[in-house]
Amino acid sequence: MSTMNKYSNAMWAQILGSFTAKDIAEYRRQFNLFDDNKNGHIEPDELKKLAKSLDMKLSDEEIMEMVKVCDFDNNGTIEFDEFLQMVFAINFGEGLGQFAEIYRKATGAEPVTWQKPELTYTPEEIEATLKQFAWFSEAEAQARETQPEVGEYPRFVWTAELHGVGYAHIDEEHKKLFQIVDDLETMLRQNGTETQLADALDGLLAYTDYHFKSEQAEMVKYNYPQKEAHAKIHQAFTQKMIDAVNDLKVKLTQNKEDVFDKKVIWETIYFLRNWLVNHIEKEDTVFGKYCTEAKAKLG
């Protein structure tokens, strides 16, 4: 049975929306503490052995009851996606009795939650807006057709001459985004670990969301006429980033040695490079000039 079929789409969306990719990579490491024989699932004997090592005296009946609570497909063992569902329940205060106690004692983990970016507009509204901006779909098509992983692309470095919008606050944030993308690309070429890459993608999504909110606050502050269309372009890109991170999260729940589809990550990087350059050149330069002039008028 596939991971996606074990839970409703709503439940799966809730799980993916509550943990970062790095969190899930860490939960995979924790799962391996339970999976003593490393066969991809937790057996009753492994739970009993772990409980004993933690000075928890549990009967065979109590162990089997714990497995039953976690075993969504009723195959007698706990797979990683089932383990992840139980961690989700524990983190949101649903208890789960002795399993929760074993989990906390074995991992020393504290509950965590992740707030994903808010998406304000409907897919239909986003699609209607993007039809006005050919460069967005062109950037997507170019990303699918290229193979940046086999070529040596120049470092992705922000310069005032090529990428400055003339508004210091936004230029500094663009510079940071360029650096994050460049660091991620370097990490991929150097075969970073799954935890490092997950953390880098999480960081890229988080900073992108922060930057977009920062830009949009300036638009509201100075009553920028194109603020709504600009915000919709931001959301289109944010959704693309969320999809890429969620794709990684799903792969992290599967029992595979190499969970990373590096082609997908390279496509995301290449799209982001094209997107940033085009968006800065075609929209942010106009926005930067408007804000600079509006700020000067206000003194």
Tokens of 249: 């999260």
Fold classification of 123-298 is: Four Helix Bundle (Hemerythrin (Met), subunit A) (1.20.120)
Q: How far apart are CA 101 and CA 55, in angstroms?
A: 11
At 14, the pLDDT band (50, 70, 90 cuts) reads: low
- Percentage of residues of the chain with pLDDT beyond 70: 80
Q: Is the pLDDT of residue 163 over 90?
A: yes
**Phi-psi region at 223: left, alpha or beta (left = phi > 0; alpha = psi -120 to 50):** left
Whether residue 251 contacts residue 243, with contact meaning beta carbons closer than 8 Å, is answered with: no
Mean pLDDT of the chain: 78
123-298: same fold as 3-107? no
* CATH architecture, domain defined by 3-107: Orthogonal Bundle (1.10)
Higher pLDDT, 97 or 155: 155
Burial (CB count within 10 angstroms: exposed 0-12, middle 13-18, buried 19+), residue 122:
exposed
pLDDT of residue 237: 85
| pLDDT tier, 5 (very low <50, low <70, confident <90, very high otherwise) | very low
The C-alpha angle with vertex 106 and arms to 101 and 112, in degrees rounded to 5, equals 75
User: Does residue 240 or residue 91 have the better pLDDT?
Assistant: 240
Give mean pLDDT, residues 232-248.
82
Residue-wise pLDDT for 185-216, tens only, equals 888 888 777 778 778 888 888 888 889 988 99
Asked whether the beta carbons of 274 and 240 are under 8 A apart, the reply is no
pLDDT at 172 over 50: yes
- Whether the CB-CB separation of 178 and 198 falls below 8 Å is answered with no
**Model confidence band, residue 10 (pLDDT cutoffs 50, 70, 90):** low
User: Which carries the bigger pLDDT value, residue 232 or residue 196?
Assistant: 232
**What pLDDT does 2 receive?**
39
At residue 16, does pLDDT exceed 70?
A: no
Alpha-carbon distance of 50 to 268, in angstroms, equals 41
SS3 75: coil
What pLDDT is recorded for position 87? 78
Two tokens, residue 248 = 């990684």
Does residue 94 carry a pLDDT above 90? Answer: no
Q: Taking the CA atoms of the chain, what radius of gyration do you get in angstroms?
A: 23
Q: Which two tokens stand for residue 98?
A: 């002795």
Confidence category of residue 160, pLDDT binned at 50, 70, 90: very high
- Residue 163 to residue 200: CA distance in whole angstroms: 23
| 59 exposure class (CB count in 10 Å sphere: 0-12, 13-18, 19+) | exposed
Distance of CA 282 to the CA centre of its chain: 27
Of all residues in the chain, what percent carry a pLDDT higher than 90? 13
Smallest CA-to-CA distance from 275 within 92, 102, 93, 142 is with 142
Buried b (16+ CB within 10 A) or exposed e, 128-145: ebbeebebbeebbeebee
Tens of pLDDT, residue by residue over 245-287, are 777 776 666 655 555 566 667 777 888 888 888 889 889 999 9
Examine the pLDDT at 43 and tell me if it is beyond 70. yes
Helix, strand, coil percentages for the chain (3-state, nearest 5): 70, 0, 30
What's the pLDDT tens digit per position in 99-148?
777 777 777 766 555 566 778 888 888 888 878 777 777 777 776 776 65
pTM over the 0.85 mark:
no
CA distances, 291 to each of 53, 154, 176, 261 (Å): 63, 31, 20, 41
Q: Which residue ranges make up each domain of the chain?
A: 3-107, 123-298
pLDDT computed for residue 223 by the predictor: 93
pLDDT digits (tens, 9 = 90+) for 44-85: 888 888 888 878 777 888 888 878 877 777 888 888 877 877
